[in-house]
Amino acid sequence: MVAKRKKKYASGEGAHFMTRKAALKKLQLSLNDFRRLCILKGIYPREPRNRKRAQKGQAGIKTLYHVKDIQFLMHEPIIWRLRDYKIFNKKVGRARAVKDFESLKKYLNNHPTLKLDHIVKERYPTFLDALRDLDDCLTLCFLFSTFPSIAHVPRDQSALCRRLTIEFLHAVIEAKALRKVFVSIKGYYYQAEIKGETITWIVPHHFSFEPQSRAEVDFKLMSTFVEFYTVMLGFINFRLYHSLNLFYPPKFSVVSQNDDEKSIVDEEVFVSERVAALNFPVSKTSSGEEEEEVEIDTFSTEDTPEKIEEAKIEAEKIKNLKGLFKGLKFFINREVPREPLVFIIRCFGGEVSWDKLLFVGASFDENDESVTHQIVDRPSMDKQFISRYYIQPQWVFDSVNARQLLPVNKYFMGEVLPPHLSPFIDKSRDQQYIPPEEKALYDPEALEELHKKQETDDESEEEEQEDEKLEAEDSEKVDEDEEDTEDEEEEEEGESTKKKKLKVTPGEVYKEVPWEKSKQERQEYKLREKLVKNKHRKLYKSMMAGRQQRAKEIWLLRKKRRLHEEKQKEERKKKKKVEKQTT
């Protein structure tokens, strides 16, 4: 008998993947339910090594899921909950249609709910795993916390987001975990370090909610994500509070307890209460003094002494950063966005307050003599205190990023601010443009240069004017000099003709021209370049093209900067001229 012929795609890559359609059929779910399940369980399509084989020879690009992922979904108990939903919807629909309001009410009262605790545990087996994946969670929760009640986003969901995000901010404040902040046009970027994991999240600027067209944004889908993220964030908060010896859920003294009702009435009130809540420490489980961090000796054998030294310096810097604003008292004017500033200042140990007539939660008054800094965002003020600095909010952000209190003179009220730089630039990458302000930050020499440049600019302008005066005098002198030199030359010629008969010219010392050597090397390299293997030729070419592209971008930025500076210089000159003329 002939051996049974092996079927194609019964093994190998073809057997490992299934299309979404096949998955739906296997799970017997609708596409909506499947999507929801995938989002909650964190299942995603996979990119196969060989798409043609994985698609069993079908053309086009299909959404492919791993077979094991689908099997994993099949064993999930919440699938039954999703089916319950289906039944529930049918029942409700029927009751509504026949106007059986009694049973409709009964059904609606005990609708099926999803319990997602086990999924959190399953997706993030350890706390660190959860922290690693916290970026998207926080960003989305912060966004949802600003949402009004809209279709597909239940009101209690955005309320829960508000609660959880503010709890998280408190945990960050208590842990002093904030490291970097950045004001972008999109929102405020925060980067915190919790248990060695860097977590970055974005908080949008005020009034971020805009109605979106249905084709653009599907809020239902985002809401499904948030459904999972709130549960996850809740558990993370619980654990963070626990490790910080804080009560969970925290009790905020300022916030009225049944805030759900109130938030519907007045959004503004809620926001102000939220900020107020940030201003007060949460209650602790143990009233003991905060434990100083025990310095741990490192016995790493692999690292070189320099590396260890570097790490030590870094640790010292972070320690300084944690108490950056300690002992400083800030008063925030009413035009300044309070929420980010209160959070940042509290994170680094400062004290904050604001006008208590406008918002709740102020801890001290504007007239308080001990206020060291007043943050203002307007060009001028009528009543000013001598005992404090009036600074613009960017000082706070820049100081945090510089890990030291920057000199305030550039940030005074009404000053043109220096550029706000991103702290997230990876310095190890080569071939990237570094603006001069950033260079000055890390390199004291460059800083001096930058200062000098500005000074010399001013001086040179003055000198130039002086030069113009002097030139007229000089020109006369030069004429005289030229005549002298001509005479001398004639004399020399006469002498040389006499000496011509017996003459030994000194041999010239062969000087190696430095660029000649490099030119030759370049030529040699060019020849060698032609011997790149055929296999790597394209890769090499694309890499070189990329390098060239980057170099070009840097060049372009430099050029733009130069043009800008020249323009500014000219403007300054003009201004001076005008001033001189007026005087």
Partner 1 sequence: MGNKEKILKRKLEKPSEERDSGAESVESEDEFLNVVNGDEEDSSDSDGEVESSDEDELALEDDDEDDDSDEESNEGSENDDQDDSDDDEEEDQDSDDDDDDEDHQEEENTQTPPPSQSKPDEYEDHDTSDEEDIRNTVGNIPKNWYDDYKHLGYDWDGNQIIKPETGDQLDNFLKRMEDPDFWRTVKDPQTGQNVILSDDDINLIKRIKANKIPDVTFDEYAPWIEWFTSEVMQMPLRKFPEHKRSFLPSKSDAKKVSKLVHALKMGWIKTRAEAEKLRAKKEPQFYMLWGSDDQAEEMRRIHQHIAAPKRHLPGHAESYNPPPEYLFDEKEMKQWNKFKNTPWKRKLHFVPQKFQSLRQVPAYPRYIKERFLRCLDLYLCPRGIKMKLNIEPESLVPKLPSPKDLQPFPTVLAIEYKGHSDMVRTISTDKTGQYLVSGSDDGTIKLWEINTGRCLKTIETDGVVRSVEWCPNSALSLILVASGNRVLLINPHLGDFVVCSKTDSILETSPQSDAIVSERIKTTVEWCNSVEANLFDRGVRITLKHFKEVSQVTWHGKGDYFATVMPDGLNRSVLINQISRRRSQLPFTKSKGLVQCVLFHPTKPFLFVATQRHVRIYDLVKQNLMKKLLTNSKWISTMAIHPGGDNLLVGTYDRKMLWFDLDLSTKPYQTLRLHGTAVRGVAFHKRYPLFASGSDDKSLIVSHGMVYNDLLKNPLIVPLKRLQDHEGSNDFGIFGVHFHPLQPWVFSSGADGTIKLYSN
Least distance to partner 1 from the beta carbon of 225, Å? 5
Q: Which lies closer to partner 1 via its Cβ, residue 93 or residue 419?
A: 419
Q: What's 266's DSSP letter?
A: -
CB closer to partner 1, 464 vs 524 = 524
The DSSP 8-state label assigned to residue 411 in this structure reads G
Return the DSSP state at 142: H
Q: Which is nearer to partner 1, 323 or 424 (CB)?
A: 424
The minimum distance between CB 1 and partner 1, in angstroms, equals: 38
Q: Which of 45/368 has CB closer to partner 1?
A: 45
Angle at 270 between CA 267 and CA 274, to 5 degrees: 140
**Contact (Cβ atoms closer than 8 angstroms) between residue 413 and residue 532:** no
CA–CA distance, 383 with 364 (Å, rounded to integer): 18
Q: How far is the CB of 465 from partner 1 (least distance, A)?
A: 27
210 vs 493, beta carbon nearer partner 1: 210
Q: Which CB, 69 or 273, lies closer to partner 1? A: 69
Return the beta strands (E) in 329-481 as ranges.
329-332, 351-354, 373-375, 389-391
- The DSSP letter of residue 419 is P
Minimal distance in Å, beta carbon 208 to partner 1? 5
What dihedral do alpha carbons 431, 432, 435, 439 form, nearest 10°? -60
Three-class DSSP category at 246:
strand
Tokens of 210: 């805009």
Smallest gap from residue 165 Cβ to partner 1 (A):
14
Smallest gap from residue 282 Cβ to partner 1 (A): 16
**What's the closest the beta carbon of residue 384 comes to partner 1, in angstroms?**
18
The nearer residue to partner 1, 366 or 377, going by C-beta atoms, is 377
Measured from the CB atom, the residue of 249 and 349 that comes closer to partner 1 is 249
What is the closest distance, in whole angstroms, from the C-beta atom of residue 180 to partner 1 in the complex?
A: 9
Backbone Cα Rg of the chain: 35
CA–CA dist 179, 200 (Å, integer): 10
C-beta closer to partner 1: residue 187 or 350: 187
Listed residue (4, 6, 5, 11) closest to 56, CA to CA: 11
Phi first, then psi: give them for residue 212, nearest 5 degrees.
-115, 150
Question: Does residue 249 have a cis peptide bond before it, meaning omega lies within 30 degrees of 0?
Answer: yes
Q: Please report how close the Cβ of residue 87 comes to partner 1 at its closest, in angstroms.
A: 17
Q: How far apart, in whole angstroms, are the C-alpha atoms of residue 369 and residue 386?
A: 10
Q: Across 387-516, where does the E strand assignment appear? A: 389-391
CA distance 81 to 76: 10
Spatial distance between the Cα atoms of 333 and 153, rounded to a whole number of angstroms:
34
